[in-house]
Amino acid sequence: MTIEQTNVVDFIGIEADTNSVILAISDHLDSKFNEENHVELLRNKINNYLEYIESGEIYVQFPKYKGKKIVISIAHKYQITERILLFYRNVGITLKSIGVEIRYFLL
């Protein structure tokens, strides 16, 4: 699964050292991809992850995750642009207000 499959959770699991639930996004798009379209794909993917969380579907599929901290983690294959970093900073504020953390990193 990848960022382009916005209606699919790419990976889900428990982070051993924090016991947090990690919902991972795999971003393989490079700087040649239209940046605004890239941000829109990220927005759609994150919104679908939020729907998965807020609807409670995550807890239907994984009851043992209830009560654990949730982290949306985005793994980038290529350099993260300033535009995407700005998007992450803004969305991070919103996510924090509902108890969800965002992380992003370059592979």
The answer to the question of residue 58 being in a domain is yes
pLDDT in the model for residue 3:
85
Q: Which has more pLDDT, 30 or 94? A: 94
- Where residue 68 sits, what CATH number does that domain have? 3.30.750
pTM (two decimals): 0.94
How many Å is the Cα radius of gyration of the chain?
Answer: 13
Answer whether residue 3 is part of any domain: no
Confidence class of residue 33 from pLDDT cuts 50, 70 and 90?
confident
Give the pLDDT mean for 41-63.
97
Return the structure tokens found at 40: 């829109």
Residue 2 belongs to a domain: no
Domain annotation covers residue 6: no
Residue-range definition of the domain harbouring residue 70:
11-106
The tally of domains found in the chain comes to: 1
Residue 31 domain-assigned (yes or no): yes
pLDDT score at 18: 97
Is pLDDT of 6 > 90? Answer: no
Q: Does residue 24 lie within any of the structural domains? A: yes
Asked if residue 61 is part of any domain, the answer here is yes
Burial status of residue 70 (CB atoms within 10 A of its CB: 0-12, 13-18, 19 or more) = buried
What would the mean pLDDT of 52-67 be, rounded to a whole number? 97
For residue 78, name the pLDDT band (cuts at 50, 70, 90). very high
pLDDT of the residue at 64? 97
Q: Does residue 1 lie within any of the structural domains?
A: no
